[in-house]
Amino acid sequence: MNKKTLIEWDKKYIWHPFTQMNQWLTEEPVIFTEGRDCFLKDIDGKWYLDGVSSLWVNIHGHRRAEIDEAVKAQIDKLAHSTLLGACNEPSIVLAQNLAEMLIERLPWGEPLTKIFYSDNGSTAVEIALKIAYQYWVNQGIKEKDTFVSLKEGYHGDTIGAVSVGGIKLFHEIYKPLLSKSIQAPAPYCYRCELKLNFPSCGLACLGEMEKIIRQNHERIVAVIVEPIVQCAGGIIVWPQGYLKGLRKLCNKYEILLIADEVATGFGRTGRMFACEHEEVTPDIICLSKGITNGYMPLAVTAVNEKIFNAFLGEIEERKTFYHGHSYTGNPLACAAAIASLEIFKKDRTLENLPPKIELLKNKLSEIAELSHVGDVRQKGMIAGIELVMDKKTKEPFAWKEQTGWKVVRLARKYGVWLRPLGDVIVIMPPLVISEENLARLLEVIKDCIIRISSD
């Protein structure tokens, strides 16, 4: 198919996500045709270094032979079968692998041994919210109907997930449709809502969270957070101790803690799961994105035995969890995920990260000195560079200027693929990226920020 026809069809038929289509229709889109290692090739033959892992999903690089072969082998056996009243081998094996991994990696509380499948991060969160609510109802506790989440939080785009979201640009318009939730201040140190500084603040934002929980705990179902890094909110990296303190609050007031690790899971923060950094085991964890290395849609909501047991009973008791999806536990997706987890072991992916994390840290320290860089934030292989009009006052650029997008578009001319969050330049490459390519990625970003800032 020729490029001209594809562009015409794209603009005629596709409504792109998170995109002002009025603007899209006036521009020439990039059409990707091939991927290899940490690179993507467009229809014109130009290669781009994938600086955001194709929206945070790629871990081991594009076209990994092991995953290719696993999917091919599975498709020769069975492409799909339902989990409603039946099983398939890949979903069983993957569940065992994940449960064992969660037991090993998160040993500080009730083990997360029960795996519920879905097909994306939003559905993983929806399932977590419904399970948490029904957990209390099944025990005869019906007054709990409210969730607590964080400002600048993001948990997906379905209605339940939006109800616990905290990004006004994305979520405000749907407010009349949403269920009950209370939002606490985000531990966003650079733009602290309480006008304090860490560590002298003594985690005052956690104190605000405790006030909310103390005043409302009898009606709170659960607290849901993106542990350690609030990615879509602008790569907000939490101060040390917040997650640990939150776990203690949930224990104290006997409410559930849901960890949305859709973006942070599978090595992004330098550990397999972000919760490991503060030795916290949540009651429910949501996983997706990197689980299949971007090959197939798949998500997991894992819970502990205590929660699972609350759903056991006779049919007439109506304790069953009436939820499911057509593609739940799809064999092809599960086969890809099994292969991806094997690569973590074979390649010693996590063990090889420290030099890359240190390189990223050093390059970011250089970028932090630029006149229009207000803050740089990093956890493991996740980083954000917040651009500002005034470094001293932290005044942001005018929204209509689209400064972040200007930087990204310029970077694409130099063969680096990025996507910003407003004026935060997001860095989240595949974990397999070489130090040479990581250095190049950061140098291009630095150069583009300088060029755009000087215009």
Is 260 annotated for ligand binding? Answer: yes
Tokens 């990625």 appear where?
Answer: 441
Q: Using alpha carbons, select from 281, 285, 316, 284 the residue that is nearest to residue 135.
A: 284
Is 234 annotated for ligand binding? Answer: no
Is 324 annotated for ligand binding? Answer: yes
Is 91 annotated for ligand binding? Answer: no
Q: Using alpha carbons, select from 148, 145, 177, 184 the residue that is nearest to residue 162.
A: 177
| 181 three-state secondary structure | strand
DSSP assignments along 288-302, one per residue: -GGGGTTSS--EEEE
Q: Using alpha carbons, select from 351, 353, 344 the residue that is nearest to residue 380.
A: 353
What stretch of H or E contains 307? helix 305-309
The whole-angstrom separation of Cα 293 and Cα 63 is: 9
Torsion sign (Cα): 140, 321, 108, 121 = negative
Is 325 annotated for ligand binding? Answer: yes
The whole-angstrom separation of Cα 455 and Cα 124 is: 44
CA 246 to mean position of chain CA atoms: 19
Is 371 annotated for ligand binding? Answer: no
The whole-angstrom separation of Cα 35 and Cα 286 is: 28
Is 154 annotated for ligand binding? Answer: yes
Q: Using alpha carbons, select from 368, 271, 347, 301 the residue that is nearest to residue 155.
A: 301
CA 93 to mean position of chain CA atoms: 24
* Binding-site residue set for pyridoxal 5'-phosphate: 121-122, 260, 325-326
* Binding-site residue set: 121-122, 154, 260, 289, 324-326, 419
* Binding-site residue set for substrate: 154, 289, 324, 419
